[in-house]
Structure 1
Amino acid sequence: MYTSGSTAKPKGVMLSHQNLVSNAQAVLQYMQLTPEDRVLCVLPFYYIYGTSLLYTHFAAGGSVVIENRFAYPNVALDTLEKTAASGFAGVPSTFAILLTKSTLRRRVFPSLRYVTQAGGAMAPALQKEVAEAFQPARLFIMYGCTEAAPRLTYLEPEALPLKWGSIGKAVPGVEVIVADERGNRLPPGKTGEIAARGPNIMMGYWKDPQATAEAIRNGWYFTGDLGREDEEGYLFVVGRSKDMIKTAGNSVSAQEIEEVLMELEGVSEAAVIGIPDAILGEGIKVFVVPKPGRALDPEAIKAKLKIRLPVFKQPAWIEVRDDLPKSVAGKVLKTILRDEACSSLG
């Protein structure tokens, strides 16, 4: 299967039968899936998250309802109701769309038992809205990647109100740590790269031994995500190592700024990138999408960010857009945003 290519060129990931089966068994265990479960799938099956819905529910003896009309979100919600689905899964943009462009908040889903989110970091502000909109269904925040077939961690719904923003702990049978450059486990509170090992980790990248050697070192798969662990063992993603902005000698996490933007009134979606700057090395550019019926003023946003962020994390540019470029799986394509921003600079 191929990686999504949201921040770099897609790579072919070689997954064995054991990789997929072991991860399915782990998901069945913590999700407590049964033959009675029925998940509504709006994600494509060539995307590992969509594939995992297929094989985990089939392994449980359950069923999958395929809904390929998510361009009309209310139609998807109608299907959720009519089929009495017990599960629903999405990436952050899936939920942002439902919250702003559908009648989700006015509906009740009596058969819905669980909602799962993966496919990229979801800002705590959005997590809270999703949990409220779908209650009493349980919201599972999950983390993983194609290379892990795909699940690495999950946050149990009961811990969500105490650990907003956390990706939880390792799934059964898998080890996940925050490591330094040599692969040593870092103590709580320290930021390092998230690394994992277990029977779900890929065999390697298709016809790319160099990339495989860079990703799998000393028996650990290094995800490329930066994270930290708290005193109770819960993990938090700080950002992608490839999504760090080097500005004025400082390393700034795009995700940190995005989470602050998502807390501002009227903001539906946000993306942050670094673009070349002759003085700073990289300047920070923000893209925001307003909620329906709302107008966003770049200068007003800048003023609010000055209160929330230190000087070196404040954006030089803010662009208001109707939408953000996304893959078919719903991931924001920052490569396109970067190309467009650089082209505008000449």
Structure 2
Amino acid sequence: MSINCIRTLLENAVETHGNKIAVTHEGKSITYDELFKRVNQVAFYLRELDLPKDARIGIYSNKGIEQVIAILAILSTDYILVPLTRLLKPEQVEYIINDCGIQCIITDRLKLESIEEINFEGHVISYETTSKDVPSFEEIYKYYNKPYECDISGHNNAVITYSFGLTGTPKGIVISHRNLIDSARVVSQYLDLQEDDVISGLLIFNLDYGLNQIFCSLYKHATLALHRFILPEDFFNHLMNDKVTVLPLMPVNISEMFDDEISRIPSPELFEDLRIITSSGGNVTAKMISDCKKTFRNAEFYSMHGLTEAFRSTYLDPSQVQIRPDSIGKAIPDVELYVINEEGKECAPREVGELIHRGGYIYRGFWNAPKENAERFKSIQILKDVINLEGQLTDEIVVATGDYVYKDEEGYLYFVSRHDDMIKTRGFRVSPYEVESVVAKNIPSIDRCAVFGLENELIEEEIVMVYSATSELSEEEILFELKKHLASYMIPSKIVYKRFLPLVQSDKNRVNKDELKRELADS
């Protein structure tokens, strides 16, 4: 058995901590011994399906202990896990099924109807017994009790994850067992996770950040406490009742937790056990950090920046979070990061360029997407003017992230925008984030602001700013303030007031710029 596969983590945990609670959810719990037994039973059944090696198996269900069992069972075979978040609509599930050729889906009673709506022709397995035609975990636990052994290579493909954005069709990213092990190892290292930690399983398991909570728990023989965020009150009860010590979040979770409409937040004394908060998947604001610090007084806050093409690039040390809250930090262990301009030269401090990720945690690539792979996965030669390649092998792969960032004089990185968000106007590249930051810092009467480009034949794109506020401000007042802080080519040519801005459904912190563009184009 490879030392670089998830199955090895599970076997090691059982050998040394078999009687310890592995997973809890809504008052139910399962020990590592019990988890191992259930995983083996399901894995044995899956292998008897006699699917070809590397066959894709989807999990489309609500959160629960059975979902964790299903994930670990698939990773105990030579099949590939494809997580399908419960938030996906049937047509989105059908797209993924067709894109990567899913041959089996594991689901629950609630999602079974959605699968029937798709007319899926592969194998379907349900957690609960629903009918004679659909095998269930309940039946598998009853009848499959033979010994199960497997030999998984760390180089095998383990997972294909998909994320649906606002536009375009999603592409699956292929992740190996070695990738999963490396990500659990590095996170456990820089967070200093301990075996007596209780890690919150709040995040959904469709992407690597959420899955990492399972694997970190296995790696450190810790306890994973599952929870589904519906109401802040329930969430706070989860932290207290489960005695959570490590809390992985996304910025949207922090916003929901400290929503202005919430009348009462529990006393900080009730969260003395919480020692670590992590955040990834979006920009963290100073208010979010402040809210967390007030309520979770003993917790160190780690702000992190990850990639689609690699597990993670940076984290900001907790000692710096309140000093430079806008920074995404510095490289995590085993990663080198470079900021280069369009000529391939390394950028000077404060000069915006593309972030290049070299070293560990780089994934296999996009599934059936040669164009995207060519855009993102590059030869080390892209850094030939930055690092000394003399005598080195030149087939090393790095990730050209498409993230535009800059470094300050102390080497801390700051995210500016995605490559696709950059506005090209009058021969210049303008970052919407730069303009939005000036508005946020200097015009406090503006609640939210969105800056983007609209096609203009004369100047490529014109810069448009749409803002929300209690009442409309004079355009002259806004322009006067912007001109004090921005170059002339960065000044918006069109300023639009709206009482409320449309937000991205999955992230209350992000304005839906595509919807605004459509509105302005139609008008």
Distance 1:247 1:334 in 2: 22
Paired letter, 2:193: L
Post-superposition Cα deviations, 1:185-231, rounded to whole Å, max 9, x if no partner, equal 33333221011022311111111112111111122201111011122
Residue 479 of structure 2 corresponds to residue 299 of structure 1: no
Q: Counterpart of 1:284? A: 464
Structure 1 residue 57, shift from structure 2 partner: 2.7
Say if 2:173 and 2:309, in contact at 8 Å, map to a contact too. yes
Matches within 5 A, 1:7-86: 9-68=169-228, 70-86=229-245
Say if 1:245 and 1:284, in contact at 8 Å, map to a contact too. no
Say if 1:39 and 1:65, in contact at 8 Å, map to a contact too. yes
Distance 1:102 1:135 in 2: 20
TM-score between the two structures when normalised by the length of structure 2:
0.57
**TM-aligned CA distance change 1:183 to 1:276, over 3 Å:** closer
Distance 1:224 1:137 in 2: 32
Q: Counterpart of 2:453? A: 274
Q: Counterpart of 2:130? A: none
Report how many aligned residue pairs link the two structures: 336
Structure 1 residue 302, shift from structure 2 partner: 8.0
Say if 2:255 and 2:508, in contact at 8 Å, map to a contact too. no
Distance 1:305 1:90 in 2: 37
Paired letter, 2:209: Y
Distance 1:336 1:12 in 2: 23
Say if 1:119 and 1:331, in contact at 8 Å, map to a contact too. no
**TM-aligned CA distance change 1:285 to 1:344, over 3 Å:** farther
Distance 1:178 1:211 in 2: 21
Residue 392 of structure 2 corresponds to residue 233 of structure 1: no
Q: Counterpart of 1:161? A: 322
Structure 1 residue 180, shift from structure 2 partner: 2.5
Q: Counterpart of 1:220? A: 398
Distance 1:187 1:6 in 2: 33
Worse-matched range after superposition: 111-120 or 251-260? 251-260
Say if 1:126 and 1:262, in contact at 8 Å, map to a contact too. no
Percent identity of paired positions between Structure 1 and Structure 2: 28
TM-score between the two structures when normalised by the length of structure 1:
0.84
Matches within 5 A, 1:1-346: 1-6=161-166, 9-68=169-228, 70-100=229-259, 101-102=261-262, 107-108=267-268, 109-148=271-310, 150-181=311-342, 183-218=344-379, 219-247=397-425, 249-263=427-441, 265=444, 271-277=450-456, 281-286=461-466, 288=468, 296-299=470-473, 303=477, 306-308=480-482, 309-310=485-486, 312-314=490-492, 316-321=495-500, 324-327=503-506, 332=510, 334=512, 336-338=514-516, 340-342=518-520, 344-345=522-523
Distance 1:134 1:89 in 2: 13
Distance 1:114 1:41 in 2: 14
**TM-aligned CA distance change 1:49 to 1:337, over 3 Å:** farther
Say if 1:238 and 1:253, in contact at 8 Å, map to a contact too. yes
Worse-matched range after superposition: 28-37 or 39-48? 39-48
Distance 2:296 2:452 in 1: 31
Say if 2:162 and 2:173, in contact at 8 Å, map to a contact too. yes
Structure 1 residue 271, shift from structure 2 partner: 4.3
Say if 2:436 and 2:449, in contact at 8 Å, map to a contact too. yes
**TM-aligned CA distance change 1:344 to 1:95, over 3 Å:** farther
Say if 2:405 and 2:414, in contact at 8 Å, map to a contact too. yes
Aligned to 2:373, what secondary structure does the other structure show? helix
Distance 1:195 1:145 in 2: 11
Structure 1 residue 339, shift from structure 2 partner: 5.5
Distance 1:77 1:66 in 2: 13
Post-superposition Cα deviations, 1:215-269, rounded to whole Å, max 9, x if no partner, equal 1112220111101112222111111111123345543322234444555657776
Post-superposition Cα deviations, 1:284-311, rounded to whole Å, max 9, x if no partner, equal 23355xxxxxx72232798457425536
RMSD: 3.0
Post-superposition Cα deviations, 1:87-139, rounded to whole Å, max 9, x if no partner, equal 22222222222222435755311111111111022244544444444333111
**TM-aligned CA distance change 1:144 to 1:8, over 3 Å:** farther
Worse-matched range after superposition: 170-179 or 94-103? 94-103
**TM-aligned CA distance change 1:2 to 1:339, over 3 Å:** farther
Distance 1:250 1:162 in 2: 31
Post-superposition Cα deviations, 1:32-77, rounded to whole Å, max 9, x if no partner, equal 0111222323321102321222222332222222222x23222212
**TM-aligned CA distance change 1:210 to 1:231, over 3 Å:** same
Distance 2:214 2:405 in 1: 29
Aligned to 1:146, what secondary structure does the other structure show? coil
**TM-aligned CA distance change 1:136 to 1:16, over 3 Å:** same
Structure 1 residue 156, shift from structure 2 partner: 0.6
Worse-matched range after superposition: 195-204 or 310-319? 310-319
Q: Counterpart of 2:118? A: none
Distance 1:338 1:165 in 2: 26
Distance 2:169 2:318 in 1: 34
* Unaligned residue ranges in structure 1 (runs of 5+): 289-294
* Unaligned residue ranges in structure 2 (runs of 5+): 1-160, 380-396
